Amino acid sequence: MMRAKVFPASSFAFKSDAVAPDKSISHRCAMFALLAEGESRVENFLRAEDTLNTLKIVGHLGAEIQDDGKIITIRSNGIKETSEILDCGNSGTGMRLFCGLLSSAEGHFVLTGDEYLKRRPMKRVTQPLRSIGAKLDGRNNGDLAPLSIRGAALKAFDYISPIASAQVKSAMMLAALRSDGVCTFHEPELSRDHTERMLRGMGARVEINGLETKIWPLDKPLKPLNIRVPADPSSAFFFAVAAAIVPGASTVIEGVTLNPTRIEAFKVLERMGADIRYTITDERYEPIGTISIKSAPLHAVTVEENIAWLIDELPALSIAMACAEGKSIIKNAEELRVKESDRIKTVVDNLNLCGIVTEEYPDGYAVVGGELKSAKVNSYGDHRIAMSFLIAGLKCGMEVEDIECINTSFPNFFDLLQICTQVEK
């Protein structure tokens, strides 16, 4: 098990266009190219374990893939049955979206993952897909991987989702593209909308009216992609927190998506007092631009709305809360319980080790700002927990165990962290 030790930073200022490319968009570029006619070109694809696993699966499903180190080209020949077991690694996004994509494909497919992914709930996608005719099964009555998928004819649907989840919505949208009629998906709160934006850009008919999304089945293949994947705001947010909590620090992150459903965590950090500015430079598939962050005294905040927009950033946001004046509260975030770890428990337990007073709730927690103390903490195999507490180390010093998981999403994280302070691995 690898560990890293981070030492406190006095101050830092850096400008970066090297933040990891967007993970969500990279997954979708590879998958959606399977539905296109012609050659899709993807620049700045995230070369991390999760997304490379998705790309490998796309190749197993019959696509011709070329990678010159800068641009990945994907030419689809239609989805083909394979004898390979399709390994999604650590990626819940990969597994859940492939369930929707493969549910109407001709053939039999098996999806698996690592020890952590095999523990995560899949019934949130397998159950609604089964209700429209998909033939999906797995352990615990289809809730746990490995999952077996036998392509079937799918019925049109009018589905009301009990949770706001971009993964559930995307899986159902992909199934809708090859259903027997117009489909409608309702969600209780607007979740991230990369799938809608990308599919419309590729020629699919998708209409959005508030919390309702209508999807028409395809009458011809999608247009191929020609896209540069922007920087990932979820990855950039670790360094936004770093700049906010270290006195005198600042950073500028270039080429990042400014999609409103992806920068909610930055908006919360602004509410806490951080100095953050946004500049849009491109608006083709996604609004893309620059985020500038400077340190400032932080105060407590309550987060209970738009949780689906910042669910991945809550561990890092919790570090900012630990450095803020007052008691911050996170509510309506029970989804944190079923991430790569139980992030409510792992955040609370690790903050307690750092001398921070917390309160744990079924759907969230409270953090009483105070003096962060150096500690030895465990990531529990969760990349966002590992990176969040390494960022905390810029304030007080920190030793984090089980850091290999960082490679699943942000392989050059340590390169940027090294700019801020001394790191031992």
Residues carrying an active site annotation? 312
Q: Which residues neighbour 87 within 8 Å (Cβ) at sequence distance 6 or greater?
A: 53, 56, 57, 112, 113
Q: Answer for the pair 315, 343: CB distance below 8 angstroms, yes or no.
A: yes
